[in-house]
Amino acid sequence: MRARGEAEGASRAKSQFLASMSHELRTPLNAIIGFSEILERELFGQLGEERYRDYARLIHESGEHLLGVVNGILDMSKIEAGKFTIVREPFGVGALVESCCEIMRHTAETKGLTLTTEVAADLPELAADKRACKQMLLNVISNAVKFTETGGWVKVAASVENGNVVFAVSDNGIGIAEKDLPRLGNPFVQAASSYDRSYEGAGLGLSVVRGLAQLHGGSLELDSTLGQGTTVRIVLPLDAGEDPAASGARAAAA
C-alpha cells in the first residue's frame, strides 16, 4: 500500500514537472518562431544574403517542430494527471474530416501524395470535444503523410459502427512491424524498424491520441504490415453517457 502511494506520488510529481517545464519552454519558443518569421518575410527590410533567408526559414521550421514536441508533452502530462478537460458539443463529422484534410492537403501534395476522403452519407452529429477530435485526427493524418513515400496515398474515412463513430486513416506507407504494434501509443515510444530512422518524432503523437480517445470513452486501434501500409482507427462512442473524466475526478475526490 505504501509502495503504491509512493508510486502515485512520483507519477504526479513527474506530470507536474513536465507541465511546468513545457510552459517554461513555450515562451522562448514562441519568441524564436515569431522573430524568425519576421526575418524570413523581411518585414523590416531586406536581409541581403540569400543564406540569411534560408537560415531564418530553418530557425522557424525548427522552432515549430520543437513547439509541437513541447505541446505534445504538455498534453500528455495533462491527460496523465487527469487535468485535460473534455468539453462536449455536437458537431458534424464530415465537416471535421474535410477541415483536417484541407489543412494537410498542401503538405501531402508537396510530397507527391494523393489525399482522399470517404465519409459515410447521413452521419449523425457527434457529441464530443471538437478541438480534441481535430487534434486526434490531425495527428494521425500527419503521421500517415510523414511515413508514406512520394507517389503513395492516404485515405481518411468516417463511418458509424456498432454505436461508435470511427475515423479511419489508411496509407500505403512504410508500415509497422507486428512486434512493435503493442507498444505504440505509449509515450515516447516509436517503432524500432530501420525503415523509420530517417523520420523525426518523439513518439508522443499516438499516445496523445490514445489518451484523448480514452477520455471520450473510446479507443485507438492500429493495423499495419511492414512495407505495405497502416490503418489507424479512432473509435468514439455516439452515446457518450457520463463523461469519463468527470467520473474519474469524483472517484479521486471520494
Residue 127 lies in a domain: yes
Residue 248 placed within a domain: no
SS3 of 124, please?
Answer: coil
Q: Is residue 126 part of a domain?
A: yes
Task: Give the model's pLDDT for residue 4.
Answer: 67
pLDDT of residue 118: 95
Residues 148, 28 share a domain:
no
Q: What angle (nearest 5°) sits at the alpha carbon of residue 60, between those of residues 188 and 199? A: 35
The three cell numbers of residue 125 are 452529429
At 126, which helix (H) or strand (E)? strand 126-128
- Strand 153-161 relative to strand 114-119: parallel, antiparallel, unpaired? parallel
**Do residues 23 and 148 share a domain?**
no
Q: Which domain holds residue 201?
A: 89-237
**pLDDT attached to residue 9:** 66
Write down the pLDDT at residue 15: 64
Boundary (domain end) residue, out of 23, 47, 80: 80
Q: Is residue 139 domain-resident?
A: yes
Mean pLDDT, 10 residues at a time, over the chain (254 residues)? 66 66 74 83 75 82 78 76 84 94 91 94 91 91 92 96 95 86 60 42 72 93 91 89 43 34
Do 95 and 221 share a domain, yes or no?
yes
Is the same domain home to 164 and 188?
Answer: yes
40 shares its domain with 93: no
Please report, for the domain that includes residue 134, its CATH number: 3.30.565.10
163, 239 Cβ separation under 8 angstroms = yes
| Residue 169, pLDDT score | 97
Q: What is the pLDDT of residue 167?
A: 97
- Angle in degrees, CA 84, 231, 137, rounded to 5: 35
Q: Would you state the cell numbers that stand for residue 216, as one nine-digit string?
A: 471520450
Predicted TM-score of the model (pTM):
0.70
C-alpha to C-alpha distances, 206 to 31, 74, 82, 84, 104, nearest whole angstrom: 28, 14, 18, 16, 17
